[in-house]
Amino acid sequence: MYAALQRCRRARQRWSALRGATITEIYEGTLDIRRLVMTRGGNGLR
């Protein structure tokens, strides 16, 4: 079990930068969607 925990920790350290990039991409995507909705007519309901 200890070896599995060590591998998980190493993987998290190695890939943490990619995780941050993914979160930024998702956040920016939601802002773009929000802008589109606002420009198309207020609340976006039809």
Summarised one tens digit per residue, pLDDT across range 6-45 is 887 888 777 776 666 666 666 667 777 778 788 876 654 5
Residue 41 φ then ψ, to 5° = 140, 45
Distance CA 27, CA 20 (A): 11
Residue 8's pLDDT is what? 79
Residue extents of the structural domains in the chain: 1-46
Q: Maximum distance among all alpha carbons in the chain?
A: 56
